[in-house]
Amino acid sequence: MSTFSTFDFKGKKALVRVDFNVPLNDKLEITDDNRMRAEIPTIQKILNDGGSVILMSHLGRPKDGPSDKFSLRHLVNHLSELLGGKTVLFADDCIGERANITSSLLRPGEVLLLENLRFYKEEEKGDEGFAKKLAVLGDVYVNDAFGTAHRAHASTAVIAKFFPGDRKMFGLLMESEVKSAEKVLHEAKKPFVAIIGGAKVSDKMLILENLLDKATDIIIGGGMAYTFMKADGGNIGKSLCEDDRIQTALEILKKAEVKGVCIHLPSDSIIADKFDAAAQTSTAPSNNIPDGWMGLDIGPNAAEQFSNVIKRSKTILWNGPMGVFEMESFRLGTKAIAIAVADATKNGAFSLVGGGDSVAAVNMFRLADQVSYVSTGGGAMLEYFEGKELPGIAAISHSS
Ligand code: AMP
């Protein structure tokens, strides 16, 4: 495995797997270009060295082969703008004659974008023949798609076997994602607090289990907190609850006690009489929510307690909001936590925010630049913290 920053791309064609899975509106315009912006440093480094860049990505979930709605053609002009007006060539197929000819004619300093990989079913199946057809396009393979690193697809993992050890590497984005995640998972300075929120316990069970061996404190907020409250004998009204997870929740509480990990549940909640932005609201202890009411945010006492834990921590991992932050009435808990994470970071803590909704939250509160790292890979980051080995990372790190 080579290191991207020290590799000299002069005269090389770099086949770069990126995650350009950006949202498009009805007019096929890009509504959020963060994933494209995040790739510019990797592309620039290759071009500055005197290499050429062949970009491959998926976009959306095309079901039956090529369709205009999912064509990467719609990204060409914007990518060109992001590269300071540089011409971006486009191949309307990612393999075969057209891709082969365009890539073979590519000169140093040029950028080529290939058509959507998922127009071929073989991509998601991890088909070796398909991976080989992609591999012939470049001299060097760069994986910079952290968002799909948890998938063993042809372009994210299988392709690596067609390049020798010194011709495959992570790109700058992937490098920094992996470095930040490693810092939290393996080199965390204590106290280490994990803040886990969001809707479902079942989605976060594995991550909680894995963190019991790493964290000093685990803060549990959001809808999933009420399954724990009920497990602990509380009345939770009609708050979210996964009855089939109550036993697991109890086991987590017990394991935490044995391992000396402090689990923090919200002492109070903002409750509502219905799941609606215009609902009637009140505050109640989280273990004594009246019948017919539901907890939709952590309350002011819980926000303060959680903030105090966060502010005395040296390492912070945050995944999942504390409440239904999409609605203004249930936003304050998540906002208080975001502010506490930013404050702790200012005081020297390392903070990593990962997972779609917590990233959306720090962006909403304009605090993204006040935390140490915001991960671009939701599902991939989650699996990483569940302790799983990601195929996209393994394919490069475990080969000679
Ligand atoms: P997740 O994808 O599991 O991180 O869940 C994120 C979603 O959980 C967001 O859309 C929130 O609105 C939702 N959520 C957070 N707290 C609650 C709650 N107390 N009740 C219902 N939904 C919640």
pLDDT band at 400 (very low <50, low <70, confident <90, very high): low
Domains with residue ranges and CATH for the chain: 4-173 (3.40.50.1260), 188-385 (3.40.50.1260)
Is 35 among the catalytic positions?
yes
Taking the C-alpha atoms of residue 312 and residue 189, their distance in angstroms, rounded to an integer, is 12
Closest CA to 376 of 39, 53, 82: 39
CA 357 to ligand 1 centroid distance, Å? 8
User: What is the pLDDT of the chain when averaged over all its residues?
Assistant: 95
- The pLDDT confidence band at residue 399, using thresholds 50, 70 and 90, is low
Q: Cα torsion at 78, 82, 87, 90 (round to 10°)? A: -50
Give per-residue pLDDT as tens, 165-204.
Answer: 999 999 999 999 999 999 999 999 999 999 999 998 888 9
Looking at residue 76, what is its pLDDT? Answer: 98
pLDDT average, residue stretch 41-56? 98
Q: What's the confidence (pLDDT) of residue 91?
A: 98
- Known catalytic residue at 147: no
**pLDDT at site 46:** 98
pLDDT of 374 strictly over 70:
yes
- CA gap 349, 314 in Å, rounded: 4
pTM: predicted TM-score of the whole model, two decimal places: 0.90
Q: Are 269 and 330 in contact (CB under 8 A)?
A: no
Active site (annotated) includes residue 200? yes
Structure tokens, 383: 């699996």
User: Tokens 């000299």 map to which residue?
Assistant: 8
Tell me the chain's radius of gyration from C-alpha atoms.
Answer: 23
What CA–CA distances, in Å, run from 124 to 17, 97, 117, 121, 157?
Answer: 14, 22, 9, 6, 11
- Residue count of the chain, please give it: 400
Q: At residue 265, does pLDDT exceed 60?
A: yes
The Å distance, Cα 102 to ligand 1 centre, comes to 46
Q: Tell whether ligand 1 has an atom less than 6 A from the beta carbon of residue 357.
A: yes
pLDDT-derived band at 72 (thresholds 50, 70, 90) equals very high
> How much distance in Å is there from the Cα of 25 to the middle of ligand 1?
25
Angle of CA points 139, 144, 149, to nearest 5°? 115
Following CA atoms 199, 201, 203, 207 in sequence, which dihedral angle do they give, to the nearest 10 degrees?
120
> For residue 121, what is the enclosing H or E element?
helix 121-125
